[in-house]
Amino acid sequence: MATHDACTLLDEEHNQVIRLFEQHKAARDDASRQLLAQKICRELGVHMQIEEEIFYPAFQRATGDQALLEDGIEEHDEARKLIAKIEEARLDHRLVLELEDAILHHVNDEREKMFPKARATQGLDLMALARALEERRSELTEGHPV
């Protein structure tokens, strides 16, 4: 059961991925870097999917803000392209850094624009959304946790 609202839950996931990027940069060997890059890609894949399936549609219905929604989806598309390159290239540290930059930009946009607007919007039940996000995350990671 969710103990935080949807914005806090999603931002905690942002912070987890940011910590993984830091661990990746600090890793001393290729095997560790590779494992961390894979984990980053899996975490981001699940995160983007639950945002797009649950949070973004609820946000758009409640706020009517199509521009912020489209911006978030475009940023997710950019991240997916970088993730595909990382998965194909295997040990390309430069691509992981490029993904980190894209994700930090996206996180900042959500923290500065989307989450404050979501919290200020009447009728947007962020606690119910958090429960739905957690449930969907569990479904997506069942049998193979991220």
> Is there a contact between 108 and 62 (Cβ–Cβ < 8 Å)?
no
**What pLDDT does 91 receive?**
75
Residue with tokens 């973004």: 56
**What pLDDT does 89 receive?**
84
**Could you give the CA distance from residue 16 to residue 121 in angstroms, rounded to a whole number?**
27
Buried b (16+ CB within 10 A) or exposed e, 121-144: beebebeebbebbbebbeebeeee
**What pLDDT does 86 receive?**
93
For residues 106-115, average pLDDT: 96
For residues 90-112, average pLDDT: 93
Rounded to a whole number of angstroms, the distance between the first and last alpha carbons of the chain is 19
Band (pLDDT 50/70/90 cuts) for residue 3 is confident
- Structure confidence by residue, pLDDT tens digits, 128-146: 999 999 999 999 998 765 5
Q: What is the DSSP letter of 122?
A: T
- Structure confidence by residue, pLDDT tens digits, 26-83: 999 999 999 999 999 999 999 999 999 999 999 999 999 999 999 999 999 999 999 9
**What pLDDT does 109 receive?**
95
- Structure confidence by residue, pLDDT tens digits, 36-47: 999 999 999 999
Q: Of 119, 91, 97, 95, which is closest to residue 22 (Cα–Cα)?
A: 97
Q: Of 109, 76, 82, 81, which is closest to residue 96 (Cα–Cα)?
A: 82
**What pLDDT does 146 receive?**
57
pTM recorded for the entire structure: 0.92
Take residue 79 and report the two structure tokens written for it.
């991240």
**What pLDDT does 2 receive?**
56
